[in-house]
Amino acid sequence: AKSAGGNRFELADPEADARAITRHGLTTALPTALDRGEFFIEYQPLVHLGDGSVRGAEALVRWLHPQHGVLGPDRFIPLAEHTGLIVPLGRWVLEQSVRQARDWRERYDQAGPLRINVNLSPCQLTHPGLVQDTVDILERMGVEPDALCLEVTESALIGADDDLLKPLRRLAEMGVDIALDDFGTGYSNLANLRRLPVSILKLDRSFTQSMQQFPADPVDLKIVEGIVALAHSLNLAVTVEGVETGAQAEQLRILGCDTAQGWYYARPGPPERLHELALVDATG
Ligand code: C2E
Ligand code: CA
Ligand code: CA
Ligand code: CA
């Protein structure tokens, strides 16, 4: 509400102002948060839709802020991209995640070779150290490249020229999987897919949400069916995110999707949680 009086210090929108103050505070605290060890990673399992087995996990970063508590990535990744911290932060996430994958592989090998998915921001893609950093981390940890999947959003690759694709192509040649994240939201030209060094499509949560009603919207079903057929014809695997119910999982399985992720299986959590899920699964 606007003040009728002449007090020019009165705020027109206190909430917007509070958000701005918080954002300013976060921007100030962000550069040193990495050194202070305030980031941590939660892992969310990736489950094979055919047999229900845990195949790996996506690493999702969080910030344990001393005043604000746990902040989700949507609160600080844009700031980290803006300030450039995303490069060292992304490297840290990659190193932690690869170390975690090694740990799973060493100690829980009866659960199968669990893989790790790590998100890459567009700024990391254009950073010249990406390939070397990734190679170094894999070698230092003694983890095979095929244990790693890097997720890049569809929108980051729209209109990508060869310079942008080169590092991804190098990583793909080494055996690292590249997944196209949030697929279906970026209006990319489907024919363009052939040009990209990706081996996995991650279908955006909006598609999964449309499977909530029963029967699902027949047009949505057709669209997902078409995407899956196209992906498979190009030798791409399809992962679906945001699966919250068994009905969705069943529908997406019938539509031919390969792997799923979502609250129905598990929320993102500490790495021990994945051990438990994978072991239960392996021992029946
Ligand atoms: P994303 O890559 O699309 O990750 C999936 C998001 O969906 C995660 O949100 C996850 O917690 C959430 N989610 C998983 N299952 C369900 C479900 O069944 N229902 C619903 N409603 N949501 C579900 P989160 O953890 O808040 O991450 C948000 C975004 O932040 C990620 O979206 C990703 O783009 C980005 N992000 C996370 N970690 C990193 C990172 O290390 N580096 C970069 N560059 N980005 C990251
Ligand atoms: Ca992702
Ligand atoms: Ca996604
Ligand atoms: Ca998403």
Q: What is the pLDDT of residues 55-89, one digit of tens each?
A: 999 999 999 999 999 999 999 999 999 999 999 99
Kindly state the DSSP code that residue 51 receives in the 8-state scheme.
T
CA 76 vs. chain centroid, Å, equals: 15
Using a pLDDT cut of 70, give the percent of the chain over it. 89
| 31 close to ligand 1 (CB < 6 Angstrom) | no
Nearest CA to ligand 1 atom 4: 60
207-248: per-residue pLDDT in tens? 898 888 777 788 889 999 999 999 999 999 999 999 999 999
Residue 103 CB–ligand 1 contact under 6 Å: no
Tokens encoding 25? 């505070």
Residues 177-188: b if buried by 16+ CB within 10 A, e if exposed: bbbbbbbbebeb
Is any atom of ligand 1 closer than 6 Å to the C-beta of 121? yes
Q: How many angstroms separate the CA atoms of 93 and 39, rounded?
A: 9
**Is residue 57 within 8 Å of 45, Cβ to Cβ?**
yes
Distance of CA 273 to the CA centre of its chain: 18
73 lines ligand 1 (CB under 6 A): yes
Q: Which atom of ligand 1 is nearest to the CA of 204?
A: 3
Q: What is the mean pLDDT of the chain?
A: 89
Does the ipTM exceed 0.90?
yes
- How confident is the model over 172-190, as a mean pLDDT? 88
CA 98/CA 241 separation, integer angstroms: 22
Check residue 246 and give its pLDDT: 93
- Look at the block and give the residue holding tokens 């902040």: 71
Q: How far apart are CA 277 and CA 47, in angstroms?
A: 10
Strands (E), the chain: 39-48, 54-65, 69-71, 115-119, 148-153, 177-183, 200-203, 237-240, 259-260
Q: What is the pLDDT of residue 155?
A: 86
Q: Confidence class of residue 256 from pLDDT cuts 50, 70 and 90?
A: very high
pLDDT at 2: 44
**Which pTM value belongs to this model?**
0.91
**How do residues 16-40 score in pLDDT, each as one tens digit?**
766 776 777 888 888 899 999 999 9
